Amino acid sequence: MSEIFLSTVLTLDASVRVCIPLIFASMAGLFAERSGVVDIGLEGKLLMSAFIAASAAVVFGSPWVGLLAGIIASSVLAMVHGFASITYKGNQIVSGVAINILAAGLTMILSLAWFKKAGITPTLKNDQRFLSIDLPGLELIDNIPIIGVIYRELISGHNILVYLAFAIVPIVWWVVFRTRFGLRLRAVGENPKAVDTAGISVESLRYKALLIGGILCGIGGVYLSTAYNAQFVKDMTAGSGFIALAALIFGKWHPYKVLAACFLFAFLDAISIRLQGIVIPGIGEIPVQLIEATPYILTIILLAGFIGKAVPPKASAQPYIKEL
Amino acid sequence: MTRERRLSWINGFLLPFLNVLTAFIATAIVFVLIGVDPIKATKILIYGALGYDEGLGYTLYYATNFVFTGLAVAVAFHAGLFNIGGEGQAYVGGLGTALVALYLNPAMSAWIVIPLAISGGLLFGALWAIVPAYLQAYRGSHIVITTIMFNFLASALMVYVLVNVLREVGEMSPESADFIKASWLPFVHDVFASFGYKIAKSPLNLSILVALFFSGLVWFFLWHTRWGFAIRAVGKSNDAAVYGGINPKKIIIVTMCISGALAGLVGINELMGVQHRLFLNFNYGYGFGGIAVALMGRNHPVGILIAAFLFGILYQGGAELDFELQNVSRDIVVVMQGLVILFCGGLEYLYRPILIRFLAPIEGAE
């Protein structure tokens, strides 16, 4: 019993760790898509920020410099996306694809130029990364059965970015649903013309949304290379940006539901490693690939309207052309 | 020159040319940033890709893949659909080709086996596109998102199939057995040798003729058949198409099947032409490369042939750069791809305001 309990807690703990970049990236996507700009460049921004953060952390010897550099890198890409899709009214999907491919190439080229190795940065020392912190009262609570284990393994012992991720979701909810900016953001995604006639700039709102997205995505990338791992490695995002996009749709563009979707997808990821090679009576061995593919399958089924309906903001992917 | 011809000249040639030029200038800036002389790099790249027959062979071999995926993206674009699932369709198409090329009777004639194996690629590519197409047409789910998801599903499926089904007993690496000999497409150097001409060995094979054939077919289909007209009508204006008696839902399905089938042909070149077995990630990067090729080639088969050749040069020349220079790897090609997609796609209207400002007074004076 206690062994099953412990391994459940450990799986949940692993899910939390996998979940973090998904949360940051999907919240970034939430801002962009709520403003009517489709952002499939989340993957590229995560990757770029992970690389720049690891590089800056190793060169300047501080994870905080890494954090700043990662945020800047991701925001620059977000602004390129804005420049193409807001100012020049180009195709937002094409621009997002460009950002993903550009990030994949640049991280390889720059790592070779800076560190003489393609697709890898030097390993970060402990003082160059975000390390786990023990929450107060650990010794006290540790002695209590069950709760002690949950507190020690699941709640305490994460790095600062993990706590930040969970703190950011209610903040996003508050900004989107309880502030003037949030109201305008949602309006510009549904009906930009109405916002424009009210005398509010559609372009500036969308740029702001993309910038917030750039910052959030940046933190997600920083987490990958300086907290979850201790270096940047080639293609380390491994589709997280797209899973985040799936979670965004699965959570119907609502912060709490998106958080739940992120956690579900992360849990599937964590459990797929544990289920490897285990034979379930009556069913047989479940292929790992099937579990890995589940987030995508679930999203497709949802999108098809078979379980609920995911309706994106109405003005999604449409550049706003002001009447002259 | 009439005004209309001048406008089409500006939109069709001048703007795309400026966009491509900008992408190359941006690449040159990247070269300078990493401490490489861009002129020297260009010389190595062009010599490596075109300077000797082996290099040229490789260039054309890479270009063949880009023709297939470029055509795939372009056909979908004409119906107003963005198929970013070329990567997955190419992958699963390869499975179709492999199944035919593995399990047909080895004694059969190549004249039967090769067309069947090509059809296998076409069929499986189309099948992988039909679900996203159906969901777009009848359930309203966005094709971009579903095709992205299908790319991931394709790679999960292929890993499963290669590891658990097609891998030979006792083999470590996830690869299939060798294809039957009758399914091998001849290498171009062997064909030349049989006529008495000696050219250097390269992976270039007769798939390039398949690519040229399908380019012609796509051109004929899009501009000279009823279906092609319907596809372009749906892409230009859904409402007008409906008014003209066209069923856009049906067109979406047909277009995506054609698009997926074309992407499914990558396996012809890679598997039947060169490796003669199925292996992991043979499709890597060609699906996304096809987006760049289609954008650069303005979705016209002739433009796509030119753009695919250019990307072939970049791929082969990039390998040469990797070999010759210490601080460049062939990933520079990926950067260029990204920049081409950005400047020819996302920022395609970058120069329009400037051109309008320059050309409007000239028009006014006439």
Give how far A16 is from chain B: nearest CA, Å.
23
CA distances from B300 to B125, B213, B226 (A): 21, 14, 18
* pLDDT band at residue B1 using 50, 70 and 90 as cut-offs: low
pLDDT computed for residue B278 by the predictor: 92
Distance, CA of A73 to CA of B87 (rounded, Å)? 27
How crowded is the C-beta side of B234, counted as CA atoms within 13 Å?
A: 26
Q: Is B285 exposed, middle or buried (0-12, 13-18, 19+ CB in 10 A)?
A: middle
CB-CB neighbors (< 8 A) of A299 in chain B: 145, 149
**How high does pLDDT run on average in chain A?**
88
DSSP string, B247-264: -HHHHHHHHHHHHHHHHT
Q: Is the pLDDT of residue A262 over 80?
A: yes
pLDDT in tens, A220-258: 999 999 999 999 999 899 889 998 998 998 888 999 999
* pLDDT band at residue A308 using 50, 70 and 90 as cut-offs: low
Residue B53 · residue B202 · CB < 8 Å: yes
Distance, CA of A318 to CA of B233 (rounded, Å)? 20
Chain centroid, CA B284 distance in Å = 12
Among B75, B169, B178, B167, CA closest to B129: B75
Q: Is the pLDDT of residue A307 over 70?
A: no
Best of A42, A253, A300, A302 to disrupt the B interface by mutation (most B CBs within 10 Å)? A300
pLDDT computed for residue A322 by the predictor: 76
CB-CB neighbors (< 8 A) of A300 in chain B: 131, 135, 141, 146, 149-150
Residue B72 · residue B58 · CB < 8 Å: no
The predicted model gives B292-303 an average pLDDT of 90
Domain B13-365 matching CATH 1.10.540: the answer reads no
Please report the domains of chain A, with CATH numbers, ordered by start residue.
Answer: 2-303 (1.10.3470)
pLDDT computed for residue B20 by the predictor: 87
Percent of chain B with pLDDT over 90: 51
Is A91 within 8 Å of B345 when comparing Cβ atoms? yes
The predicted model gives B131-150 an average pLDDT of 89
Residue showing tokens 């320059």: B358
Longest dimension (CA), chain A: 71
| CA dihedral for A142, A148, A153, A154, sign (positive or negative) | negative
Distance, CA of B299 to CA of B126 (rounded, Å)? 20
For B352, the closest chain A residue by CA position comes to A88
CB-CB neighbors (< 8 A) of A55 in chain B: none
pLDDT in tens, B14-54: 888 888 899 999 999 999 988 888 899 889 989 989 988 89
Which residues is A159 bridged to in the sheet?
Answer: A132
Distance, CA of A83 to CA of B25 (rounded, Å)? 18
CA distances from B226 to B222, B229, B233, B251 (A): 8, 5, 10, 11
Which residues is A133 bridged to in the sheet?
Answer: A158
pLDDT in tens, A51-104: 999 999 999 989 999 999 999 999 999 999 999 999 988 888 889 989 999 999
Q: Which residues contact B42 (CB under 8 A, 6 or more apart)?
A: none
Calculate helix-pair angle for B332-341, B15-33, nearest 10 degrees: 150
Its pTM stands at 0.89
How wide is the angle at C-alpha B259 spanned by C-alphas B253 and B261, nearest 5°?
100
Residue A162 · residue A20 · CB < 8 Å: yes
Distance, CA of A23 to CA of A116 (rounded, Å)? 33
Percent of chain A with pLDDT over 90: 49
Four-CA torsion B324, B329, B334, B339, nearest 10 degrees = -70
Q: Which residues contact A11 (CB under 8 A, 6 or more apart)?
A: A267, A270, A271, A274
Structural element, H or E, at residue A158? strand A158-159
**How high does pLDDT run on average in chain B?**
89
More confident residue, A3 or A236: A236
Best of A94, A237, A309 to disrupt the B interface by mutation (most B CBs within 10 Å)? A94
Facing residue for B327 by CB, picked from A89, A97, A112: A112
Q: Is A107 exposed, middle or buried (0-12, 13-18, 19+ CB in 10 A)?
A: buried
Percent of chain A with pLDDT over 70: 97
Give how far B194 is from chain A: nearest CA, Å.
41
Lowest mean pLDDT segment, chosen from A92-101, A127-136, A230-239, B254-263: A127-136
How wide is the angle at C-alpha B307 spanned by C-alphas B303 and B308, nearest 5°?
115
The 3 state secondary structure assigned to A57-116 is HHHHCCHHHHHHHHHHHHHHHHHHHHHHHHHCCCCHHHHHHHHHHHHHHHHHHHHHHHHC
Backbone φ and ψ of A158, nearest 5°? -110, 170
For A103, the closest chain B residue by CA position comes to B335
pLDDT computed for residue B366 by the predictor: 61
Among A32, A35, A28, A319, CA closest to A190: A35
pLDDT computed for residue A1 by the predictor: 55
pLDDT computed for residue A324 by the predictor: 62
Backbone φ and ψ of A159, nearest 5°? -90, 170
The predicted model gives B284-303 an average pLDDT of 89
Is A91 within 8 Å of B335 when comparing Cβ atoms? no
pLDDT computed for residue A175 by the predictor: 96
Distance, CA of A236 to CA of A131 (rounded, Å)? 19
B32 close contact with A: CB closer than 8 A = no
Give how far A215 is from chain B: nearest CA, Å.
21
Percent of chain B with pLDDT over 70: 99
